[in-house]
């Protein structure tokens, strides 16, 4: 068993748990820690390093989440089998830049969609908007760069590198009014002669959008690690649409081994791509955010899509797409003639919002807010008399309850509605008829979103659910 002699720097700005996490991760990547090798227990390591046990546990939890290590019951922690690892390298920083309506029937609504707009920084946004127009900037009212304002693309590029481990330059970023527009633009760039595979269950809007664009679409089963790569290969799809950092709606975090398998699938045949939808990775309540799949891509096969709809407000309507270098020329030929769909004024406001530190402060505030609601919901659910398994916790703004009762999903929803509480079924996100057992079988699953609910409302709503299901 490796003793993990780690030289911690107590005065460093990097937290101690992250120093431990980075050390172990690098040793695994460099091969100094071999697959199957046993790691020290949290108790032994905290004594050895003279740190709190919670510090070590937090580092191990992050490594578990990313799939670098695994926990074996009654045995301890071991280095996982991850195959050939990609290193997350810093990008080149050269100067090259190529220009169900409730109808009042419900007292409480656990909708998994939306954000709490009560905490939107209206004053700051108003101030930045006013200042952006002070100098009579006539150019802001003319058509700008089709890819979006260079200043905003630079700000997004810096943020993605620091927060998500994304390797890109501003010339790879295209800004658009929402993910729907970017998907349609992508279809223009790569054409619709592709078969696109989706996780099942999934966010149906994207599935329907690709169908509307006349693409051949299919679904691929998932396991505990995400999309099954063997079944993906059997599907004959050449594009995989995935949400590896926090799958919607199941909340699965794709471990490193599965990510590398997915990248290997994409690299095995020319013309294969992965679309990575990173819709809410900012909200993670244990450890730090999981690095993006794009950061491990060395073959130019990942198309990364992100949005500010979850982190700021849906009405901002600013999303972005990071194209791999291999698609830049195709974009310039087929898509660059389209004008940007986002106002230059809004782009400049968002740019300043990010550059002046407001975005980071807003994220920290919302993360703390949602974590508080997440913790209150988990604590309240422990007092519910009916038995269920909770999954998808510690990230995002929703979790799932998997029931082992004789009730169907519909019955659970109706019982809750009778008490004035609206809940949602997993079956709403299932594509195809072969999965009807999720709705009517032995394991009905309910989705509870908490972003738009106050803590006191969460507690009262769960009391009503206890009466409905208890």
DSSP structure class, residue 442: S
CA gap 156, 149 in Å, rounded: 11
- At 82, the pLDDT band (50, 70, 90 cuts) reads confident
Contact in structure between 275 and 239 (CB atoms under 8 Å)? yes
pLDDT of 85 strictly over 80: no
pLDDT of residue 438: 47
Please report the DSSP string for 236-266 in residue order: T-SEEEE-TTS-TTT-PPPPHHHHHHHHHHH
Mean pLDDT along residues 51-73: 87
Percent of the chain clearing pLDDT 70 (strictly above): 91
User: Per-residue pLDDT tens for 244-268?
Assistant: 999 999 999 999 999 999 999 999 9
pLDDT at 1: 53
130: number of CA atoms within 13 Å, CB side?
Answer: 6
Mean pLDDT over 451-456 rounds to 96
The confidence score (pLDDT) of residue 323 equals 97
**DSSP labels for 262-287?**
HHHHHHTSTT-EEEEE-SSTT-BSSS
Indicate the pTM of the whole model: 0.84
Positive or negative, the Cα torsion across 353, 324, 340, 140? positive
Lowest mean pLDDT among 111-120, 349-358, 411-420: 111-120
Burial 100-124 (b: 16+ CB within 10 A, else e): eeeeeebebbbbbeebbeeebbeeb
d(CA 227, CA 210): 18
CA distance 243 to 275: 8
* pLDDT on residue 84: 56
- Residue found by looking up tokens 């919670």 in the block: 54
Distance, CA of 308 to CA of 31 (rounded, Å): 38
Q: What is the mean pLDDT of residues 126-138?
A: 80
Do the Cβ atoms of 293 and 244 come closer than 8 Å?
Answer: yes
Is residue 153 within 8 Å of residue 147, measured between CB atoms? Answer: yes
The lowest-confidence range among 66-75, 325-334, 390-399 is 66-75
CATH 3.40.640.10 fits 121-356, yes or no: yes
Residue 452 is predicted with a pLDDT of 94
Mean pLDDT of 376-404: 94
Q: What is the pLDDT of residue 437?
A: 41
Task: Please tell me the predicted confidence (pLDDT) of residue 91.
Answer: 45
**Mean pLDDT over the full length of the chain:** 88
Q: Each residue of 333-353: pLDDT tens digit? A: 988 888 889 999 999 999 999
> CB under 8 Å to 452, separation ≥6 — which residues?
109, 111, 114, 115, 116
Q: Nearest CA to 175 among 295, 338, 298?
A: 338
Query: Per-domain residue ranges for the chain?
Result: 16-79, 121-356, 361-469
Does residue 54 or residue 195 have the better pLDDT?
195
Q: Which two tokens stand for residue 173?
A: 């970023």
Contact in structure between 462 and 378 (CB atoms under 8 Å): no
DSSP readout, 211-243? HHTT-EEEEE-EETTEE-HHHHHHTT-SEEEE-
CATH architecture of structural domain 361-469: Alpha-Beta Complex (3.90)
- Judge whether 16-79 and 361-469 match in fold: no
The pLDDT tens digits for 291-346 are 999 999 999 999 999 999 989 988 888 999 999 999 999 999 988 888 889 999 99
Give pLDDT tens digits for 137-181. 667 777 778 999 999 999 999 999 999 999 999 999 999 999 999
Alpha carbon of residue 424 to chain centroid: 20
Chain-centroid distance of CA 113 in Å reads 14
Please provide the CATH number assigned to the domain covering 16-79. Answer: 1.10.10.10
State the Cα–Cα distance between residues 246 and 449, nearest whole angstrom. Answer: 14
Mean pLDDT computed over 195-202: 96
Q: Is 232 in contact with 272 (CB distance < 8 Å)?
A: no
Predicted local confidence at residue 2, as pLDDT: 61
Assess whether pLDDT exceeds 90 at residue 369: yes
Percent of all residues in the chain with a pLDDT value above 90, rounded to a whole number = 61
């Amino acid at each position: 068993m490796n003793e993990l002699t780690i030289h911690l720097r107590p005065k460093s700005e990097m937290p101690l748990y992250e120093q431990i996490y980075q050390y172990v991760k690098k040793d695994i990547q460099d091969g100094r820690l071999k697959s199957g090798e046993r790691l020290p227990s949290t108790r032994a390591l905290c004594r050895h390093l003279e740190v709190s046990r919670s510090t070590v546990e937090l580092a191990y939890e992050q490594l578990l989440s990313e799939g670098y290590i695994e926990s074996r019951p009654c045995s301890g922690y071991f280095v996982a089998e991850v195959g050939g690892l990609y290193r997350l390298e810093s990008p080149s920083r050269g100067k090259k830049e190529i220009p169900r309506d409730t109808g009042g029937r419900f007292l409480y609504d656990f909708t998994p969609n939306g954000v709490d707009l009560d905490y939107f920084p209206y004053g700051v946004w108003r101030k930045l908007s006013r200042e952006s127009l002070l100098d009579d900037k006539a150019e802001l009212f003319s058509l700008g760069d089709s890819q979006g304002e260079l200043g905003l693309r630079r700000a997004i590029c810096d943020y993605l590198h620091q927060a998500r481990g994304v390797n890109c330059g501003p010339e790879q970023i295209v800004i658009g009014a929402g993910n729907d527009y970017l998907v349609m633009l992508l279809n223009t760039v790569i054409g619709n002669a592709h078969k696109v595979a989706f996780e099942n269950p999934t966010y149906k809007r994207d599935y329907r959008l690709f169908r509307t664009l006349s693409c051949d679409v299919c679904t691929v089963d998932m396991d505990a690690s995400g999309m099954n790569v063997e079944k993906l290969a059997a599907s004959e799809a050449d594009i995989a649409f995935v949400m590896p950092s926090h799958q919607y709606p199941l909340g699965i975090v794709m471990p490193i081994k599965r990510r590398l398998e997915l990248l290997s699938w994409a690299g095995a045949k020319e013309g294969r791509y992965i679309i990575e939808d990173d819709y809410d990775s900012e909200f993670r309540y244990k450890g730090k955010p999981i690095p993006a799949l794009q950061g491990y891509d060395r073959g130019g096969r990942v198309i990364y899509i992100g949005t500010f709809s979850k982190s700021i407000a849906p009405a901002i309507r600013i999303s972005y797409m990071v194209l791999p270098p291999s698609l830049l020329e195709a974009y310039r030929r087929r898509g660059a003639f389209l004008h940007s769909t986002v106002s230059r004024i809004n782009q400049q406001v968002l740019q300043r919002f990010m550059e002046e530190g407001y975005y980071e402060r807003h994220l920290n505030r919302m993360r703390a807010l949602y974590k508080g609601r997440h913790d209150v919901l988990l604590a309240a659910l422990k007092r519910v008399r009916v038995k269920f398994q909770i999954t998808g916790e510690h990230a995002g703004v929703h979790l799932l309850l998997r029931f082992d009762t004789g009730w169907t999903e519909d019955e659970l929803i109706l019982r809750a509605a009778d008490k004035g509480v609206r809940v949602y079924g997993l079956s709403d996100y299932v594509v195809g008829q072969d999965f009807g057992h999720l709705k009517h079988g032995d394991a009905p699953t309910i989705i509870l979103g908490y972003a738009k609910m106050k803590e006191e409302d969460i507690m009262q709503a769960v009391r009503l659910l206890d009466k409905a299901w208890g």
